[in-house]
């Protein structure tokens, strides 16, 4: 039972840390006016925060578990951390879209349209309109939530799998 409590505490704690630090990075990005075209450093900072804190979470769980860690435990901890961080990120994203920047969807559509015209100046108008309509379908809150959750869990699975492979140490049975 103590092992389960430690796992839950680790997932909640490190997921919360990742979520809050990601919000801070995104708010800095927002304050610099790079809402729709963030600098590469923003994505890099987010990935580094995610990886480092997830690995530290798995390390903490291992140290609280007498130095033992099975691969399945590492993956469970990693996915739990990713889930908590993703939920916090989704809440922030919804607050940004509907409270902080209520014109977010309109501004995003205008940005996407401008980007399409710049990238494909020779594309026929009809094809551009079809591409923009398709883009709008994939820009709704439901798709944003689903994609955020899926990407976070996939990235969490990869990181926790790699960390678990390096850190696993099981009790030897005689």
The answer to whether residue 136 sits within a structural domain is no
Burial class of residue 145 (count of CB atoms within 10 Å of its CB; 0-12, 13-18, 19+): middle
The answer to whether residue 11 sits within a structural domain is yes
The pLDDT, as a whole number, for residue 142 is 84
The answer to whether residue 37 sits within a structural domain is yes
Per the structure, the count of domains in the chain is 1
Question: In Å, how far are 11, 70, 127, 155, 173 from 67, measured between CA atoms?
Answer: 18, 10, 58, 25, 15
The pLDDT, as a whole number, for residue 173 is 62
Tell me how far apart the alpha carbons of residues 128 and 123 are, in angstroms, rounded to a whole number: 7
The answer to whether residue 33 sits within a structural domain is yes
The answer to whether residue 150 sits within a structural domain is yes
The pLDDT, as a whole number, for residue 56 is 95
One digit per residue, pLDDT tens: the chain, 174 residues?
A: 556 668 899 999 999 999 999 999 888 888 877 777 777 888 888 899 999 999 999 999 999 888 888 999 999 999 999 999 999 999 999 998 889 888 877 787 777 778 777 777 777 778 777 777 777 777 778 888 899 999 999 999 999 999 999 988 877 766
pTM of the model: 0.85
Residues spanned by the domain of 50: 2-102+141-167
The answer to whether residue 67 sits within a structural domain is yes
The pLDDT, as a whole number, for residue 57 is 95
């Amino acid at each position: 039972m103590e092992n389960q409590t430690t796992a839950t505490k680790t997932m909640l704690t490190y997921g919360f840390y990742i979520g809050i630090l990601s919000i801070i990075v995104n708010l800095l990005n927002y304050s610099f006016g790079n809402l729709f075209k963030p600098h590469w450093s923003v994505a890099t900072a987010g990935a580094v925060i995610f990886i480092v804190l997830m690995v530290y979470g798995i390390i903490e769980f291992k140290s609280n578990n007498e130095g033992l860690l099975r691969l399945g435990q590492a993956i469970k901890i990693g996915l739990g951390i990713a889930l908590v961080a993703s939920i916090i990120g989704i809440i922030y994203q919804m607050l940004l879209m509907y409270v902080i920047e209520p014109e977010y969807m309109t501004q995003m559509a205008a940005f996407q349209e401008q980007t399409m015209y710049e990238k494909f100046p020779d594309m026929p108008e009809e094809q551009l309109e079809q591409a923009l309509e398709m883009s709008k379908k994939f820009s709704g809150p439901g798709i944003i939530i689903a994609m955020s959750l899926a990407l976070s869990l996939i990235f969490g699975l990869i990181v926790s799998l790699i960390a678990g492979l390096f850190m696993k140490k099981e009790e030897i049975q005689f």
